[in-house]
Amino acid sequence: MKITIDIPEYIKGDGVEYIWNEKGELSIKCEDNYALISGNTEGLKLLGEQLIYLSTSDKFSHVHFDEVLAEIQGGKINGELIIEKL
């Protein structure tokens, strides 16, 4: 299988661009000793694209993805999902 994706160019001052569309669904549940990320096919694919975007950029080191999901999906996320590049 070959998958082609478009990674946005980082523009200084605009901040991180979030890769998302209306078909994607993700939820985050954080408990004491685990985090559960659930999503439909499109949501998991988009999360993967966001990870590739983070891994290929030298302009930023982390993404607060929980804030993006709360804004996009219009709800409160149970916990934080901060994705950080080492």
1-48 pLDDT, tens per residue? 888 877 777 666 666 677 777 888 888 887 888 888 889 999 898 888
With respect to residue 4, please indicate whether it lies within any of the assigned structural domains: no
With respect to residue 31, please indicate whether it lies within any of the assigned structural domains: no
With respect to residue 10, please indicate whether it lies within any of the assigned structural domains: no
With respect to residue 8, please indicate whether it lies within any of the assigned structural domains: no
Q: What residue type is 62 in one-letter code?
A: H
Gap between the Cα atoms of 20 and 47, Å rounded = 8
Predicted pLDDT of residue 49 = 85
Range of the domain at 82: 58-86
With respect to residue 78, please indicate whether it lies within any of the assigned structural domains: yes
With respect to residue 67, please indicate whether it lies within any of the assigned structural domains: yes
Gap between the Cα atoms of 85 and 24, Å rounded = 23
Number of domains in the chain: 1
With respect to residue 12, please indicate whether it lies within any of the assigned structural domains: no
With respect to residue 38, please indicate whether it lies within any of the assigned structural domains: no
> Residue 45 in contact with residue 64, Cβ under 8 Å?
no
